[in-house]
């Protein structure tokens, strides 16, 4: 009987310790935080893949993997999958004291679809007592799933045209509603932004680009992936929302994220760029 009580007591203590640990580390679960980039730290691998597993079963394997060149205090990856321009699924993972993260999901489709996957890979480093730094990378992939009965060339063209038309209508609706003058901004769909930002964004230095990317994904994680933050303070599930349009002000003062919820409500997220130097 004493052994039973002892085991129960140990179990309770372990559960309590786990709860206290989770409570003391809410940041790790709830946010990606941008810190100055450490140029000496790099990602050995940062990869996103979309692979047709079986044409007959209509299954796509969506996978992302990243490995830092060292263990980090905190590793985080956030992955988005869009189907014909609308968010189909989102994955995010975090782990402490590791260099590597990997996530995957099988996606079953029942019609021809353009799939676009975008991943932000992040590491938070505490290698100096008085300074926190970070490292980041981006990866992406795209695949056309074409049903067996469809003509591949024509179907790809139709999917491109339909997706572009839907996104243009959605973005124009938001631009009108929020009275945004495109002359004052550089505009990039998130998929294009991520590819450009692997190098240098037009009109910015590499350090400036890194800061823009890190701060953007910090905001996307908090106000989009974990639930779209609306003007009234409520949140809506991001599934079904449109691929965001990223708008960077020409005066380098702020950036905007324009999207539309699955229910058709335009959403505008604003982020100041004061941290960019």
pLDDT at residue 274 greater than cutoff 70? no
Tokens of residue 257, six digits = 């994220």
Task: For residue 261, name the pLDDT band (cuts at 50, 70, 90).
Answer: very high
Average pLDDT, the chain: 89
pLDDT at 30: 57
pLDDT at 56: 77
CATH topology assigned to domain 32-145: Immunoglobulin-like (2.60.40)
Task: For residue 54, name the pLDDT band (cuts at 50, 70, 90).
Answer: confident
Q: What is the DSSP string of the chain?
A: -HHHHHHHHHHHHHHHHHHHHHHH-HHHHH------B-TT--EEEEEEEEEEEETTTTEEEEEEEEEEEEEEEEEEEEEEEEETTEEEEEEEEEEEEEEEEEEEEEEE-SS-EEEEEEEEEEEEEEEETTEEEEEEEEEEEEEEE--TTS-HHHHHHHHHHHHHHHHHHHHHHHHHHTT--GGGEEEEEHHHHHHHTTS--TT--HHHHHHHHHHHHHHHIIIIIT-EEPTTS-EE--TTPBPPEEEEETTSSEEEEEEE-TTS-EEEEEEE-TT--
Task: For residue 1, name the pLDDT band (cuts at 50, 70, 90).
Answer: low
Contact 156, 231 (CB under 8 A): no
Domain ranges of the chain: 32-145, 152-272
Sign of CA dihedral 126, 130, 132, 133: negative
Share of the chain above pLDDT 90, in %: 79
Q: What is the pTM of this model?
A: 0.87
pLDDT at residue 276 greater than cutoff 70? no
Among 242, 239, 238, 247, which residue's Cα sits nearest to residue 270?
Answer: 247
Tokens of residue 34, six digits = 């941008």
Q: Which residues of 237-261 are buried (b: 16+ CB within 10 A; e: fewer)?
A: ebeebbbbbbbbeeeeeebbbbbbb
Task: For residue 22, name the pLDDT band (cuts at 50, 70, 90).
Answer: very low
Among 78, 128, 70, 135, which residue's Cα sits nearest to residue 103?
Answer: 78
pLDDT at 14: 43
pLDDT at residue 17 greater than cutoff 80? no
Share of the chain above pLDDT 70, in %: 87
pLDDT at residue 37 greater than cutoff 90? yes
pLDDT at 239: 98
pLDDT at 107: 96
pLDDT at 149: 78
How far is the C-alpha of 271 from the C-alpha of 28, rounded, in Å? Answer: 22
pLDDT at residue 119 greater than cutoff 70? yes
Lowest mean pLDDT among 81-85, 138-142, 151-155, 241-245: 151-155
pLDDT at 125: 96
What's the burial of 229, exposed, middle or buried (CB within 10 Å: 0-12/13-18/19+)? middle
- Model confidence over 89-113: pLDDT tens digits? 999 999 999 999 999 999 999 999 9
pLDDT at 232: 87
What's the CA angle centered on 91, arms 19 and 123, to 5 degrees? 70
pLDDT at residue 128 greater than cutoff 90? no
- Model confidence over 147-200: pLDDT tens digits? 887 788 999 999 999 999 999 999 999 999 999 999 999 999 999 999 999 999
């Amino acid at each position: 009987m004493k052994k039973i009580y002892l085991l129960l007591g140990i179990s309770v203590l372990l559960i309590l310790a786990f709860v206290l640990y989770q409570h003391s580390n809410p940041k790790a679960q709830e946010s990606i935080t941008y810190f100055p980039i450490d140029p000496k730290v790099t990602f050995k691998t940062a990869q996103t893949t979309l692979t047709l597993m079986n044409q007959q079963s209509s299954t796509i394997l969506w996978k992302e993997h990243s490995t830092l060149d060292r263990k980090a205090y905190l590793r985080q990856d956030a992955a988005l999958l869009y189907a014909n321009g609308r968010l189909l699924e989102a994955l995010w993972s975090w782990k402490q004291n590791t260099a590597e993260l990997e996530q995957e999901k099988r996606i079953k489709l029942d019609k021809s679809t353009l799939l676009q996957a975008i991943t932000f890979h992040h590491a938070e480093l505490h290698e100096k007592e008085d300074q926190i730094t970070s490292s980041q990378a981006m990866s992406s992939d795209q695949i056309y799933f074409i049903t067996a009965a469809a003509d591949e060339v024509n179907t790809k063209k139709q999917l491109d045209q339909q997706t572009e038309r839907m996104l243009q209508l959605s973005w124009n609706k938001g631009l009108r509603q929020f009275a945004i003058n495109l002359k004052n901004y550089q505009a990039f769909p998130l998929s294009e932004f991520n590819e450009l930002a692997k190098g240098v964004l037009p009109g910015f230095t590499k350090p400036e680009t890194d800061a823009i990317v890190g701060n953007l994904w910090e905001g996307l994680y908090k106000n989009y992936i974990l639930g779209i933050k609306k003007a009234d303070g409520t949140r809506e599930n991001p599934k079904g929302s449109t691929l965001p349009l990223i708008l960077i002000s020409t005066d380098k003062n702020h950036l905007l994220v324009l999207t539309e919820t699955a229910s058709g409500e335009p959403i505008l997220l604003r982020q100041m760029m004061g941290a960019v130097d």
